[in-house]
Structure 1
Amino acid sequence: MFISAAYAQTAAGAASGSAGMAAIVQYAPLVLIVVVFYFLLIRPQQKQQKQLKARLSALKRGDKVVTAGGIVGLVKKTTDDSNEIDVEIAPNVTVSVVRSTISTVLTAAPADKK
């Protein structure tokens, strides 16, 4: 009697077109952050790893390398099918190093002039 009937609209009826847009606006910053991280962090790191892998597979005698432990040396012997490389770290001191522990190839060997 004193209370009149109140009818509420459903969510679909009130904002039928703006519900989809609200979801897009809500997730847009998260998607933008993921895209920025991909292009600023992930993609350059993948490119750098690809270049290092190519350099490691192309190692040859005379290349100057740095191991993961920080040892700088000169490649003395390498074979394509082997995982180990002989590196000279001091005059007449040669150590065998696993190819994957080389972190940087500093200089390539000078090309033979013919």
Structure 2
Amino acid sequence: MLSLISVMAAPETAGAAGSTTGSMMTTFVTFGLIIVIFYFLIIRPQRKKDKETKEMLSSIKKGDKVVSIGGIHGTVVAVKETTVVVKVDDNTRMEFSRNAISSIINRKGDGATASSKKKSKKEEQVSAPEESVEAPVEEVSAEAEKKDK
């Protein structure tokens, strides 16, 4: 009778061992998918942003208008190996670490960066409707003056 019970229990243990390997496999696949998702949503974009920032900091030159991470606006007067001297006011010059420069607003030779060009295009689009609204108002006021005379 004892052997009968052990024979009946043997298939259950074999099935249980197979299900644990299956559940371990799904666990590994799930963790693998999570790692891939994190790579594409977090790690890869951060590396791209770091690379762009490094290129921007290495391309700073005299005459560029920059903004520091503290929000200070100024013009680059001198570029050293690890620091940048920024002219903030007529007689005020500040020396910043290169890493403290947040962005370059205007390049000396280029005139404006791509983000500045986008902003100026938006300003032109916004200013265009204002001009068309103002013109009829002047015409109406001129017609009103003619009627008053």
Larger Rg: 2
C-alpha deviation, 1:42, in angstroms? 1.3
SS in structure 1 of the partner of residue 44 of structure 2: helix
C-alpha deviation, 1:64, in angstroms? 1.9
Task: Please list every run of at least 4 consecutive aligned residues from structure 1 whose deviation after the TM superposition is greater than 3 angstroms.
Answer: 10-13, 15-21
C-alpha deviation, 1:98, in angstroms? 1.1
> What is the identity, as a one-letter code, of the residue corresponding to 1:54?
E
TM-score (norm 2): 0.60
Q: What is the match of residue 70 of structure 2?
A: 69
Question: Which has the higher relative contact order, 1 or 2, with Cα contacts under 8 A spaced 6 or more apart?
Answer: 1
Identity of aligned residues (%): 35
| Structure 1: 5+ residue stretches without partners | none
Following the alignment from structure 1 to structure 2, what is the Cα–Cα distance between the partners of residues 10 and 59? 73
Pick closer, same or farther for the CA change 1:22–1:99 going to 2, 3 Å.
same
Aligned residues: 108
TM-score (norm 1): 0.75
Pick closer, same or farther for the CA change 1:87–1:19 going to 2, 3 Å.
same
More helix by share: 2
| Structure 2: 5+ residue stretches without partners | 111-149
